[in-house]
């Protein structure tokens, strides 16, 4: 049996960069339990569809739906990942489409992090056309100081500073998503890095 650790690693080293704990596994799980209960109360009598935005949201979504004591369904879709095109042009591409029909359904979009808000803005417009009964957005993390678009996040796990974070679904060059806690780049406060751009 693998050891179940509740304490985060003291640090995570990537090349010459050092990441230190920002949110522990315990803090994350406790907050998810609260969010799950809030959603249960809000969706009494409904069978909501949780729609995860790949890749980052998959761990959060998995833990979240276990904390929502309601019948529910799930689906996923994938947008273009961070890259120069997205940052400079403000455009988002669909890389993997949704499978389910959301017409007339209560849908909850699940994100790991909202940074500039561009993805959510795109998603709002996209799903508006699909005619759901209702649409809400949940994000484990939000960087309020990085928001460039006027978007509404209905359920927020944690507001965090505009610093680069990894773990619990969040990657650095596609790695470190499997860390149980969330880590932040140490000494980053002086560095101008408004968006999650590390590739």
Q: How many residues bind ligand PRP (CB under 6 A)?
A: 18
Residue 153 touching ligand PRP (CB under 6 A): no
Residue 81 touching ligand PRP (CB under 6 A): yes
Q: Are 89 and 61 in contact (CB under 8 A)?
A: no
Sole binder of ligand PRP in the list 110, 115, 132, 164 (CB under 6 A)? 115
Q: What is the largest CA-CA distance in the chain?
A: 52
Residue 132 touching ligand PRP (CB under 6 A): no
Residue 171 touching ligand PRP (CB under 6 A): yes
Question: Alpha helix (H) ranges present in the chain?
Answer: 25-42, 58-66, 84-89, 118-128
Cα-Cα end-to-end distance for the chain? 34
Active site residue 71: no
Stretch that binds ligand PRP, among 4-12, 33-41, 114-122, 179-187 (CB under 6 A): 114-122
Residue 25 touching ligand PRP (CB under 6 A): no
Tokens of 127: 């799903």
Q: Which is nearer to ligand PRP, 106 or 111 (CB)?
A: 111
C-beta atoms surrounding 116 within 10 Å = 19
Hey, is 151 helix, strand or coil?
coil
Q: Which is nearer to ligand PRP, 12 or 53 (CB)?
A: 53
Q: Which of 115, 154, 171, 187 is catalytic?
A: 115
């Amino acid at each position: 049996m693998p050891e179940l650790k509740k304490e985060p690693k003291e640090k995570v080293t990537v090349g010459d960069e050092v990441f230190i704990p920002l949110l522990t596994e315990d803090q994350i799980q406790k907050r998810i339990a609260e969010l799950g209960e809030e959603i249960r109360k809000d969706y009494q009598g409904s069978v909501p569809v949780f729609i995860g935005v790949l890749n980052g949201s998959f761990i959060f979504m998995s833990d979240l739906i276990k904390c929502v004591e309601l019948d529910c369904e799930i689906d996923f879709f994938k947008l273009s990942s961070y890259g120069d095109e997205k940052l400079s042009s403000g455009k988002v591409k669909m890389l993997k489409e949704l499978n389910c029909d959301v017409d007339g359904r209560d849908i909850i979009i699940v994100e790991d992090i909202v940074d500039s808000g561009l993805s959510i803005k795109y998603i709002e417009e996209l799903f508006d056309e699909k005619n759901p009964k209702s649409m809400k957005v949940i994000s484990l993390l939000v960087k309020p100081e990085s928001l460039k678009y006027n978007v509404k996040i209905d359920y927020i796990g944690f507001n965090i500073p505009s610093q680069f974070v990894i773990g619990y679904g969040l990657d650095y060059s596609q790695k470190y998503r499997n860390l149980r806690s969330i880590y932040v780049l140490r000494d980053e406060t002086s560095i101008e890095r408004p968006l999650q751009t590390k590739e």
